[in-house]
A and B are shown apart, each in its own frame.
Chain A
Amino acid sequence: MRLRLLICLAGMAICVGAASAQTAVQSMDELYAAAKKEGQVVFGGAIKAEHVTKLAAAFNKRYPGIAVKYTRRSTEPMVQLIEAERRANRVSFDLLNLTEPGDVVRWMKQAFLAAVPLPDTDKMLPATFDSNGFYAAISVTPMLGIYNTRVIKPGEAPKSLKALVSDPKWKGKVAISRPTRGGTSSGALMNVIEAVGRDFLKTARERDILLTRGNEAAINAVVSGERPVSWGVSGYRAIEARAGGSPIEIIVWEEGVALAQFIGVIPAKAPHPNAARLFYRWLMTPEGQELLVTNANFYSPRKDVAVTPLKQPPLSALKINSFSNEKVVGEGHALAVEFDKAVGL
């Protein structure tokens, strides 16, 4: 009798557990049915617009009737817009894609974000998702060094960060995206500091580093020859620029490269919450991830997605220095501010 009761209770517990899991992670069909009524998803972020257009076409093929409206905006101005909207008690975006973990964590604490648990986080790279489901990296990219092949011969290119920031030969030769711009740039700075030590900040001003507004501008500074080297730019942009014929070559530093995350979040008061969840969840499926890799040249945070951008080596073949979002939040921004002061800003 007692055994029967135990079996019965165990059965009930399994049923309740399954039911709660079902509630936590809605099925895609359920989401699609609710999303169709909303008709659209307003997506904003740092991914190039032409890449999202291709993703949206594939998404619409699988889930017709839901338009993807995309606004491309770098993380810093995007956060400004969101903060302005928050002041006005307004939420325009359903899904956001940012590179600054600091903002994501702050918004999570302020209950601005919705928890959208993903079904298979066990297949994701460590430290690329929040265990409570408030955020996850939609894509990742290594912060690669680059140099201008017209100005520097391949054999003469710097190989280590230590040489780059201490050898007088490279003084006045480096361009970077200003570290306070966002998580990608502050991650690259953290990588340098990890490699060469904090004392570098004392000499940073003498190095005459050209600071740009964003990674693309840093790449352009190298492509034009204004400064022939960068210690770390968004890998997907560098790969694209090189494939497009720009005279640059990639450097994977002896000390390793940082891995930047493009984080997806859904505001708690998103105007089209179901469409947002459906699109976000679809982006995180192997199908969505493969399209992100092949169209936008990112790497996937999913371990089961083998495809790499433009036939680049897999992440496992690169020396990656992975900084958790907590570390970037805790140290990255403070370091970026310190760097600003060190160079005179």
Chain B
Amino acid sequence: MAMRAAIARAFEELRQEWLRSIIVGIAILIVGWLVFYPLGIIFEMGLRAEGGSLTFAHYQRVLTEPGLVSALVNSIIISVATTAFALVLALPMAWAVARTNMPGRQFVRVSVLVAFVVPNFISVIAWILLLGPNAGLINVFVRETFGIARLFNIYSMEGLVLVLTLSFYPLIFFAATAALDNMDPSYEEAAQMVGAPAWRASMGIALPLVLPAIVASSVFVFLEAMGAFGAPAAIGHGARFHTLTTEIYELFSYPPRFELAAAAAAPIIGFTILGLILQRWVLGGRRFNVIGGKSSAARAVDIGWRRWLAFGYCMAVIFASVILPLLILLRTSLLSRWGLPISWQNLTLKNYAAFADTSTIVPAALLNSTLVSAVTASACVVLALIIVWIVERTRLPGRGLLTFTSTVTFAFPGVALAVGFVIGYGGPPLALFGTIWLFFIAFTAHRFPFAFMFMRNSIKQLSSEMEEAARVSGASWLRSVVSISAPLLKSGIVAAWMIVFAVTLRELSMAILLYVPGMETLPVAIYSFIDNGTFEIAAAVSVVLILLSIASMLILRWITGKAQMEL
């Protein structure tokens, strides 16, 4: 009897191992295929001469041609400055929101989410309207009130850094608040009990503990800035400078030089690899198990009158990153003719009627965007759960490579990556170009790093002891993941889904090459209206896109409860 039970248990274990191996193997294959197939196509293109023979000439030109070199240098300067300013903006906000009794903390959290969902190709228009050197509303006000020629010229490298900083600081804010929220506050409380001031307790105890999240998110901000296209294209023309992405985009124009464009994307892959190495070096072998089997609620530190100072700081950042651009967009969306002053004759709601007008691309774009974003978010989260588990919970060889694979597409310029997909999926046996399936695949490949990063941060802080206890009690691997890890990671899963949904909703740089007539998404529609000169309708669609993003987060908040919204 005992023998039969032992054999049955052995078979069951074998079955479980087999099942686990299949799931893990399929997940690795999918992620590998999603990433390496288009990258391989692009890399191979960079090595091809016009006649098809092998050459290194394109890669050589990237490092010697003055235009490409200056674009590379500009990209590095802009990305470094954006990361530094984003840290300056985000860290005090994250600390004030997660650790202090500052008023309006929930409002700040939601507002930063809104700042994050406003695409920089839209916010840059608002900033040009505000800080254009001659006609920008703020510069005009300063000139007429104080007699100063101008406060700030948006058509400059500093202007681009401003727009990108206000667009990307939420990434550091999310990561830092999530880490602070998940950290056991008793260490800081103990420090305060022995007389350390709140800020010193945080600097000495909380900062080292949240450092992995800060470093990881800083690297992502740097890479996001390297890969940004919309804002650099809008400002770079006016300021007469290129970044690597705008240079790559131009290489696809007349006369198209796909091979050189592919080679020009190599430095961005290089920086991505360097970023990942930096992350690894900073994090070392340390682990951060601050979520254990017991839970402890964070106690808000009373910072006295300084809470109003912190509140003022947060409000200033939110005003600049959310309220001001949104007001400009709203104002533009209500004008019948952009460029004319506001008057009753010039006010209208007709720009919003495009959503009900099936002769425009807007209704179809709304449907396409929602569908593509939801499917992409779901696919990314499911894959990320498995891949992160492999990376963090197993000793499988090649985990470093898997981590690299999972993050390498993060900052890859969407325009360049899209070329890999267009060519790679253009003909049989993978003839998916022009179908919604290619959107799902391409967006999942491009946005998977977001899900991976958020899930990894969550799982890093989750001790494996409960999973192990479940396995010891006889639960299968799948059951321990689904019943123990997944519920504990619910916050991270929802956060990852939300982030991927939001960033996919605003994705333009890939969609602009992937779409064919009938497959437009909302950002493509906005871009088309801007290109068409109909700023008023572009602003109306932008307002709805932003409202849709906010609404989706509020619905998720309602479904999952307040705690899960606290990233």
Interface residues of A (CB under 8 A from B): 42, 44, 48-49, 53, 69, 71-74, 76-77, 79-81, 83-85, 87-90, 92-93, 100, 102-103, 106, 178, 180, 210-214, 216-217, 219-220, 223-227, 237, 244-247, 333, 343-345
Please determine whether B338 and A72 come into contact, CB atoms closer than 8 angstroms. Answer: no
Please determine whether A88 and B339 come into contact, CB atoms closer than 8 angstroms. Answer: no
Closest A residue, CB atoms, query B512 = A77
Please determine whether B133 and A226 come into contact, CB atoms closer than 8 angstroms. Answer: yes
Please determine whether A220 and B252 come into contact, CB atoms closer than 8 angstroms. Answer: no
Please determine whether B532 and A44 come into contact, CB atoms closer than 8 angstroms. Answer: no
Q: Which of B237, B338, B427 contacts A178 (CB 8 A)?
A: B237
Distance A228 CA – B434 CA, assembled complex (angstroms): 43
| A–B Cβ pairs within 8 angstroms, 5 of them | A42-B517, A88-B426, A211-B237, A224-B135, A333-B254
Which of A81, A88, A247: most chain B Cβ within 10 A?
Answer: A88
Please determine whether B135 and A213 come into contact, CB atoms closer than 8 angstroms. Answer: no
Please determine whether B513 and A212 come into contact, CB atoms closer than 8 angstroms. Answer: no
Interface pairs A-B: 6 shortest CB-CB: A88-B426, A216-B533, A223-B339, A225-B135, A226-B135, A224-B135
Interface residues of B (CB under 8 A from A): 67, 129, 132-136, 155, 233-234, 237-238, 240-242, 250, 252-256, 258, 337-340, 359-360, 418-419, 422-423, 425-427, 433-434, 512-513, 516-518, 528, 531-533, 535
Please determine whether A79 and B134 come into contact, CB atoms closer than 8 angstroms. Answer: no
Please determine whether B237 and A74 come into contact, CB atoms closer than 8 angstroms. Answer: no
List residues of chain B with CB within 8 A of the CB of A225.
134-135
Supply 12 further A-B pairs (C-beta < 8 A) apart from A72-B531, A226-B134. Answer: A73-B528, A84-B252, A84-B418, A85-B433, A88-B425, A90-B433, A92-B517, A225-B135, A226-B132, A237-B533, A343-B240, A345-B67
Please determine whether A79 and B256 come into contact, CB atoms closer than 8 angstroms. Answer: yes
Q: Which of A85, A216, A219, A224 contacts B532 (CB 8 A)?
A: A216
List residues of chain B with CB within 8 A of the CB of A72.
528, 531-532
Distance A83 CA – B253 CA, assembled complex (angstroms): 9
B420 nearest CB across to chain A (Å): 10
Please determine whether A88 and B253 come into contact, CB atoms closer than 8 angstroms. Answer: no
Q: Which of B253, B418, B422, B516 contacts A180 (CB 8 A)?
A: B253
Please determine whether B427 and A89 come into contact, CB atoms closer than 8 angstroms. Answer: yes
Q: Which of B155, B516, B533 contacts A219 (CB 8 A)?
A: B533
Please determine whether A80 and B360 come into contact, CB atoms closer than 8 angstroms. Answer: no
Distance A77 CA – B415 CA, assembled complex (angstroms): 11
List residues of chain B with CB within 8 A of the CB of A80.
252-253, 256, 512-513
List residues of chain B with CB within 8 A of the CB of A73.
528, 531
Distance A246 CA – B132 CA, assembled complex (angstroms): 19
List residues of chain B with CB within 8 A of the CB of A333.
254
List residues of chain A with CB within 8 A of the CB of B433.
85, 88, 90
Please determine whether A92 and B434 come into contact, CB atoms closer than 8 angstroms. Answer: yes
List residues of chain A with CB within 8 A of the CB of B360.
49
Please determine whether B240 and A102 come into contact, CB atoms closer than 8 angstroms. Answer: no
Decide yes or no: A210 and B155 within 8 Å by CB, A92-B434, A225-B135, A345-B241 being known contacts.
yes
Closest A residue, CB atoms, query B424 = A88
Q: Which of B133, B242, B254 contacts A102 (CB 8 A)?
A: B254
Q: Which of A74, A87, A227 contacts B422 (CB 8 A)?
A: A87
Distance A213 CA – B434 CA, assembled complex (angstroms): 27
Q: Which of A49, A90, A345 contacts B242 (CB 8 A)?
A: A345
B45 nearest CB across to chain A (Å): 9
A114 nearest CB across to chain B (Å): 19
List residues of chain B with CB within 8 A of the CB of A88.
422-423, 425-427, 433
Please determine whether B531 and A224 come into contact, CB atoms closer than 8 angstroms. Answer: no
List residues of chain A with CB within 8 A of the CB of B533.
214, 216-217, 219-220, 237
Q: Which of A92, A212, A220, A247 contacts B238 (CB 8 A)?
A: A212
> Is the contact region of chain A dominated by helix, strand, or loop, or is it mixed?
mixed
A85 nearest CB across to chain B (Å): 8
List residues of chain B with CB within 8 A of the CB of A247.
339-340
Distance A138 CA – B155 CA, assembled complex (angstroms): 36
Closest B residue, CB atoms, query A44 = B517
Closest A residue, CB atoms, query B256 = A83
A217 nearest CB across to chain B (Å): 7
List residues of chain B with CB within 8 A of the CB of A212.
237-238
Distance A326 CA – B419 CA, assembled complex (angstroms): 30
Q: Which of B67, B237, B532 contacts A48 (CB 8 A)?
A: B532
Q: Which of A220, A226, A343 contacts B338 (CB 8 A)?
A: A220
Please determine whether A87 and B513 come into contact, CB atoms closer than 8 angstroms. Answer: no
Which of B237, B339, B532: most chain A Cβ within 10 A?
Answer: B339
Please determine whether B339 and A220 come into contact, CB atoms closer than 8 angstroms. Answer: yes
List residues of chain B with CB within 8 A of the CB of A42.
517
Please determine whether A92 and B254 come into contact, CB atoms closer than 8 angstroms. Answer: no
Distance A343 CA – B67 CA, assembled complex (angstroms): 12
List residues of chain A with CB within 8 A of the CB of B155.
210
B133 nearest CB across to chain A (Å): 7
Decide yes or no: A74 and B423 within 8 Å by CB, A80-B252, A83-B252 being known contacts.
no
Closest A residue, CB atoms, query B249 = A80
Distance A245 CA – B418 CA, assembled complex (angstroms): 41
Please determine whether B240 and A345 come into contact, CB atoms closer than 8 angstroms. Answer: yes
List residues of chain B with CB within 8 A of the CB of A92.
434, 516-517
List residues of chain B with CB within 8 A of the CB of A220.
338-339, 533, 535
Please determine whether B254 and A49 come into contact, CB atoms closer than 8 angstroms. Answer: no
Distance A315 CA – B128 CA, assembled complex (angstroms): 36
Please determine whether A87 and B258 come into contact, CB atoms closer than 8 angstroms. Answer: yes
A176 nearest CB across to chain B (Å): 11
Distance A77 CA – B337 CA, assembled complex (angstroms): 25
Distance A245 CA – B419 CA, assembled complex (angstroms): 42
List residues of chain B with CB within 8 A of the CB of A211.
237-238, 240
Which of A84, A92, A217, A226: most chain B Cβ within 10 A?
Answer: A84
B356 nearest CB across to chain A (Å): 16
Which of B155, B360, B419, B531: most chain A Cβ within 10 A?
Answer: B531
A332 nearest CB across to chain B (Å): 11
List residues of chain B with CB within 8 A of the CB of A74.
531
Please determine whether B426 and A89 come into contact, CB atoms closer than 8 angstroms. Answer: yes
Please determine whether B238 and A106 come into contact, CB atoms closer than 8 angstroms. Answer: no
Distance A91 CA – B516 CA, assembled complex (angstroms): 10
Please determine whether B337 and A69 come into contact, CB atoms closer than 8 angstroms. Answer: no
Distance A93 CA – B515 CA, assembled complex (angstroms): 13
Please determine whether A213 and B517 come into contact, CB atoms closer than 8 angstroms. Answer: no
Distance A327 CA – B551 CA, assembled complex (angstroms): 54
Please determine whether A213 and B234 come into contact, CB atoms closer than 8 angstroms. Answer: yes
Distance A342 CA – B250 CA, assembled complex (angstroms): 17
Please determine whether A79 and B253 come into contact, CB atoms closer than 8 angstroms. Answer: yes
List residues of chain B with CB within 8 A of the CB of A106.
254-255
Distance A76 CA – B533 CA, assembled complex (angstroms): 15
Distance A88 CA – B35 CA, assembled complex (angstroms): 19
List residues of chain A with CB within 8 A of the CB of B132.
224, 226
Which of A80, A217, A223, A237: most chain B Cβ within 10 A?
Answer: A80
Please determine whether A214 and B531 come into contact, CB atoms closer than 8 angstroms. Answer: yes
Please determine whether B337 and A244 come into contact, CB atoms closer than 8 angstroms. Answer: yes
Distance A213 CA – B339 CA, assembled complex (angstroms): 17
Distance A220 CA – B536 CA, assembled complex (angstroms): 12
Q: Which of B359, B426, B517 contacts A53 (CB 8 A)?
A: B359
B134 nearest CB across to chain A (Å): 5
Distance A333 CA – B253 CA, assembled complex (angstroms): 12
List residues of chain B with CB within 8 A of the CB of A44.
517
Closest B residue, CB atoms, query A333 = B254
B535 nearest CB across to chain A (Å): 7
Please determine whether B255 and A102 come into contact, CB atoms closer than 8 angstroms. Answer: yes
Decide yes or no: A77 and B256 within 8 Å by CB, A49-B360, A90-B434, A245-B337 being known contacts.
no
Closest B residue, CB atoms, query A248 = B339
Closest B residue, CB atoms, query A220 = B339
List residues of chain B with CB within 8 A of the CB of A237.
533
B247 nearest CB across to chain A (Å): 10
Distance A270 CA – B67 CA, assembled complex (angstroms): 37
List residues of chain B with CB within 8 A of the CB of A213.
233-234, 237, 531
B95 nearest CB across to chain A (Å): 40
Distance A3 CA – B311 CA, assembled complex (angstroms): 106
Closest A residue, CB atoms, query B339 = A223
Closest A residue, CB atoms, query B360 = A49
